[in-house]
Amino acid sequence: MEETKKFMEPLDIDNGWRDWDMGNKAQEFYRDYLPSHVNCERGETWFTPIALLEGVGNCKKINRICPEFKIEGIKKGDVKKFKLELISKISEVVMEHDDRDLNKRVGEAYHSLVNFGCIPLGLNSWKGFRNRCRLGDFPDLFLQSVKIWFLNAEPKPNGSEESRIEGYSTTEKDEFDRYKELWFHKFGKGEAGWRKFVLGEMLMGSFVDSDYNVIQLFDHKIGRPFPDISEITGSGKKYTKDELAVALSQVQVIRGCILEIYKIWYNRAIVLSKHKE
């Protein structure tokens, strides 16, 4: 259990990168467990839990829902800090009866080795910023796109309704094509390439199942990644932070996603702990 637990312990920022997935321990992890990935790539945090709270909105909307969040004198980073604390409170409610010795504050737990991988720097930026409205910060949507790319499926044309909300389109294909020679093709092509990618990133048995299918966190789509929580945010009701956490913990997609990601992380910790045996 101790060997498994070390992969799920939240890390500190411990170097000049000022980013958990590029800290010294993270980079040591990439060298030891993902040795073919340390030349042209950057650390990647697969799942970013505050993406579940995209519907909570900006500081003014948060203040309307939860007046204890004050907008007077607000500083950069305060919204993110509030959402991280809120998602941690939500996960503590959801995981209340889980008797495993885990950090149940998902706003801290996601900065752990089980949630880290390596992808090219430019692809990291594209996924997290320029294409966030399609992929969000959800590994199931990103990995499903990668799988489709390896299998050379025909993308849905940009501009069409099905492209906008239904899934993999030329938006994703064009970006992945930029890295095919630099990165993707070192895994191979087609089904064999996808399988080697899964094994190379040590995703088997956690983010990807034994049949090489991507584990879905909840029912969502590329182009519509974020959960709909309008029944709470649009109700006009005001909450304390604790009350809001309890209310959001009852939203099935949020509850299900938190339970699924902890299952994925725990399974990956077991796989990683056995890797050196």
- Mind listing the pLDDT tens digit for each residue in 133-179? 889 899 999 999 999 999 987 776 665 555 555 667 888 899 999 99
The per-residue pLDDT for 95 is: 96
Number of domains making up the chain: 1
Range of the domain at 196: 2-275
Mean pLDDT of the chain: 90
Enter the tokens of residue 197.
Answer: 């990618």
Do 22 and 29 form a contact (C-beta atoms < 8 A)?
Answer: no
Closest by Cα among 112, 108, 90, 79 to 4: 112
| Pairing label, strands 116-120, 41-45 | antiparallel
Enter the tokens of residue 271.
Answer: 């796989």
Structural Rg of the chain based on CA atoms: 19
Residue 89: pLDDT above 70? yes
**SS3 assignment, position 39:** coil
For 232-248, what is each residue's pLDDT tens digit? 999 999 999 999 999 99
Cα(256)–Cα(262) distance, integer angstroms: 10
Confidence of residue 131 (pLDDT cuts 50, 70, 90): confident
